[in-house]
């Protein structure tokens, strides 16, 4: 039986094939001693082959190569934290606008204030509408409610409430964060007699609400903050709430996007007129500098995006698109007998300590838009990775907190690698440009703005291997291995 390899090695299966054929194949001989020797020789040969194969696969080239070996990365369970959640943000409220915000109701003296805040200029305070100055004593004998809802968890796999709380309260006075399935009866968690005059993260798992249970699958859910005081007022300020988020994870849906297919050459200056043409061993790179140190500080966000052309739907290969070794990587494993896999990886350290998200889909022949995002401090406890494809959020995850940010690598930023095709209009930004469930696919070339740190149009003359940066940072790409500008890619 022939031994074959595809984009992801199935070594265990392959080795067992060999072992089974060697150990069970009949060896006919008139001399038992010769038969025994032949079996021992076969086992020795198998052992040498396995050791050689494992050594070959374990070797990973350094920065001098376009990409390190990705073929077996998805099987390194001991080294990789798998992130496969598809998240949707239902509530993201910092109380920076009108009060109460849309969807919220407030009773008692809840209101907007600038006295204490976690981020931005304002928060919600239990005395925010009372007219009292900062540092005032809160009212006695009061029950104040700040409520949001209803919202839908019928399609949720998981859901939770996250927020920042500043609380200074006396004995007998209680702050509670709660959830409800009917908007009347609320259950949750609470604090009393608390002296924590600084913001601290709090959470409520909506799949396991104390006293209520799971709200997953419910199409009408409410959350609220409840402030209740007794008849004896002390010299405390009460509660401030900021950065409220309700996040749920849902199962992904099948993509219905039809890729761009052009039957005529686009006009000069249009998308896809002149592109970066790549061979199986070519790429374009720019040396490291501070403008390309993405997501490394405590509040640094980024987006890397571009278009790529799939020339062959039946390919079996691994293609690298955006890559900075030991920082971030977007690559695709193409299959001809199962869905293709897009993989977005971020390193925590300059080792095998990384996390990733992936998305399985059929990539049809044609142009596709792809973007990866990193939202540092998406909440106080979580950062967010996002993967976007052809107008939809393909995957996102808030399962990790980087402190202060991702690994700051000194490696070059590389476009392409092991991809025989075309790439167009690559933009790197120091902000999150895509965050919703859907987005409008760009239809014209990007324009450099204040958040752009690199932008390559690939509009140079055909055959050029030097690609100018349209941002103010001068991140000129240099092609290698046959990476050149090519006018008019006509599928």
Q: Is 15 exposed, middle or buried (0-12, 13-18, 19+ CB in 10 A)?
A: middle
Neighbouring residues of 88: CB distance < 8 A, sequence distance ≥ 6: 247, 248, 249, 250, 437
Are 136 and 239 part of one and the same domain?
A: yes
pLDDT in tens, 291-316: 999 999 988 999 999 999 988 877 88
Are 146 and 225 part of one and the same domain?
A: yes
Q: Domain with 459 in it: what CATH number? A: 2.60.120.200
Query: DSSP secondary-structure letter at 416?
Result: -
Q: Is 220 exposed, middle or buried (0-12, 13-18, 19+ CB in 10 A)?
A: middle
Q: 369 in a domain, yes or no?
A: yes
Instruction: State whether the Cα torsion 406-410-413-416 is positive or negative.
Output: negative
Please tell me the distance from the alpha carbon of residue 313 to that of residue 336, in angstroms, as a whole number: 7
Contact 462, 331 (CB under 8 A): no
Q: 121 in a domain, yes or no?
A: yes
Q: 218 in a domain, yes or no?
A: yes
Please tell me the distance from the alpha carbon of residue 293 to that of residue 372, in angstroms, as a whole number: 15
Please tell me the distance from the alpha carbon of residue 117 to that of residue 32, in angstroms, as a whole number: 86
Query: DSSP secondary-structure letter at 46?
Result: H
Are 45 and 191 part of one and the same domain?
A: no
Buried b (16+ CB within 10 A) or exposed e, 30-67: eeeeeeeeeeeebeeebeeeeeeeeeeeeeeeebeebb
Which residue is associated with the tokens 């149009």? 457
- Model-wide pTM > 0.75: no
How many domains does the chain divide into? 3
Radius of gyration of the chain (CA): 28
Neighbouring residues of 277: CB distance < 8 A, sequence distance ≥ 6: 422, 483, 484, 485, 486, 489
Are 215 and 289 part of one and the same domain?
A: no
Domain boundary among 250, 271, 294: 250
Are 244 and 266 part of one and the same domain?
A: no
Q: 2 in a domain, yes or no?
A: no
- What distances in angstroms separate CA 85 from CA 125, 155, 308, 387, one per listed residue? 34, 13, 25, 11
Are 96 and 227 part of one and the same domain?
A: yes
Please tell me the distance from the alpha carbon of residue 209 to that of residue 182, in angstroms, as a whole number: 14
Q: Domain with 134 in it: what CATH number? A: 2.60.120.260
Angle between helices 11-24 and 32-58 (to 10 degrees): 170
Are 287 and 232 part of one and the same domain?
A: no
Contact 196, 164 (CB under 8 A): no
Please tell me the distance from the alpha carbon of residue 435 to that of residue 376, in angstroms, as a whole number: 13
Domain boundary among 217, 250, 283: 250
Neighbouring residues of 429: CB distance < 8 A, sequence distance ≥ 6: 302, 303, 304, 305, 451, 452, 453
Q: 442 in a domain, yes or no?
A: yes
Q: Where are the beta strands (DSSP E) in 362-491?
A: 366-375, 383-389, 392-400, 413-415, 421-429, 452-456, 466-467, 477-480, 484-487
Q: 68 in a domain, yes or no?
A: no
Are 113 and 213 part of one and the same domain?
A: yes
Are 220 and 343 part of one and the same domain?
A: no
Q: 66 in a domain, yes or no?
A: no
Are 295 and 165 part of one and the same domain?
A: no
Q: Is 464 exposed, middle or buried (0-12, 13-18, 19+ CB in 10 A)?
A: middle
User: Would you give per-residue pLDDT tens digits along the chain (491 residues)?
Assistant: 333 333 333 333 343 444 444 444 444 444 455 555 555 555 565 556 555 544 444 434 333 333 333 333 333 332 333 333 467 889 999 999 999 999 999 999 999 999 999 999 999 999 999 999 998 889 989 999 999 999 999 989 999 999 999 999 888 899 999 999 999 999 999 998 877 789 999 999 999 999 999 999 999 999 999 999 987 766 688 999 999 999 998 875 544 444 554 445 677 778 888 899 998 889 999 999 999 999 999 889 999 999 999 888 778 888 999 999 999 999 999 988 888 999 999 998 887 788 888 899 889 888 999 999 999 988 777 889 999 999 999 988 876 777 889 999 999 999 998 888 899 999 999 999 999 888 999 999 999 999 999 999 999 999 999 999 999 999 999 999 999 999 875 54
**What's the pLDDT score for residue 311?**
86
Nearest-CA neighbor of 402 among 331, 299, 326?
299
**What's the pLDDT score for residue 401?**
77
CA end-to-end span of the chain: 38
Please tell me the distance from the alpha carbon of residue 284 to that of residue 413, in angstroms, as a whole number: 8
Are 365 and 377 part of one and the same domain?
A: yes
Nearest-CA neighbor of 121 among 94, 92, 91, 100?
94
Angle of CA points 385, 471, 366, to nearest 5°: 60
Are 310 and 374 part of one and the same domain?
A: yes
Which residue is associated with the tokens 């194949």? 25
Please tell me the distance from the alpha carbon of residue 178 to that of residue 223, in angstroms, as a whole number: 6
**Helices and strands counted in the chain (H then E):** 2, 28
- Domain housing 30: 11-58
Run of H or E residues at 186: none
Contact 327, 415 (CB under 8 A): no
Q: 63 in a domain, yes or no?
A: no
Domain boundary among 235, 250, 265: 250
């Amino acid at each position: 039986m022939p031994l074959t390899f595809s984009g992801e090695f199935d070594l265990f299966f392959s080795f067992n094939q060999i072992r089974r054929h060697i150990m069970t194949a009949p060896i006919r001989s008139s001399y038992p001693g010769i038969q025994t020797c032949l079996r021992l020789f076969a086992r020795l040969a198998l052992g040498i082959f396995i050791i050689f194969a494992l050594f070959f696969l374990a070797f990973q080239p350094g920065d001098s190569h376009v990409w390190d070996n990705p073929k077996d990365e998805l099987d390194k369970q001991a080294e990789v934290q798998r992130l496969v959640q598809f998240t949707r943000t239902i509530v993201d409220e910092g109380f920076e606008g009108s009060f109460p915000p849309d969807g919220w109701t407030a009773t008692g003296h809840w209101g907007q204030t600038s006295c204490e805040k976690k981020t931005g200029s304002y928060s919600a305070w239990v005395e925010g509408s009372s007219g009292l100055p900062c540092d005032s004593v809160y009212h006695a004998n009061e029950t104040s409610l700040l409520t949001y809802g209803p919202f839908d968890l019928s399609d949720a796999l998981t859901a939770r409430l996250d927020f920042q709380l500043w609380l200074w309260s006396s004995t007998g006075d209680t702050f509670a964060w709660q959830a409800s399935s009917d908007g009347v009866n609320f259950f949750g968690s609470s604090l009393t007699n608390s002296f924590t005059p600084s913001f601290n993260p709090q959470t409520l798992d909506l799949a396991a609400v104390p006293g209520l249970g799971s709200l997953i699958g419910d199409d009408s859910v409410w959350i609220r903050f409840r402030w209740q005081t007794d008849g004896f007022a002390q010299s405390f300020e009460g509660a401030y709430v900021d950065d409220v988020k309700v996040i749920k994870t849902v199962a992904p849906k099948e993509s219905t996007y039809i890729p761009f297919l052009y039957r005529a050459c686009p006009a000069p200056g249009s998308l896809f007129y002149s592109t970066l043409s790549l061979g199986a061993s070519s790429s374009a790179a720019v040396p490291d500098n501070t403008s390309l140190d993405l997501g490394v500080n405590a509040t640094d966000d980024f987006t890397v995006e571009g278009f790529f052309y799939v020339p062959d739907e039946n390919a079996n290969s691994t293609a690298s698109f955006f890559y900075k070794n030991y920082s971030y990587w977007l690559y695709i494993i193409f299959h001809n007998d199962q869905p293709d896999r897009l993989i977005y990886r971020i390193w925590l350290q300059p080792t095998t300590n990384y996390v990733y998200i992936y998305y399985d889909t059929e990539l049809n022949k044609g142009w596709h838009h792809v973007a990866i995002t990193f939202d540092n401090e998406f909440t106080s406890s979580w950062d967010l990775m996002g993967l976007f494809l052809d107008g939809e959020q393909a995957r996102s995850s808030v399962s990790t907190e980087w402190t202060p940010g991702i690994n700051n690598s000194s490696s070059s930023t590389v476009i392409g690698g092991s991809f025989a095709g075309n790439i167009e209009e690559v933009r790197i930004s120091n902000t999150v440009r895509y965050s919703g469930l859907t987005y409008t696919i760009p239809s014209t070339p990007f324009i450099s703005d204040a958040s752009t740190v690199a932008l390559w149009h690939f509009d140079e003359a055909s055959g050029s291997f030097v690609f100018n940066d349209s941002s103010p940072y001068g991140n000129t790409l240099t092609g290698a291995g046959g990476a050149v500008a090519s006018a008019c890619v006509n599928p």
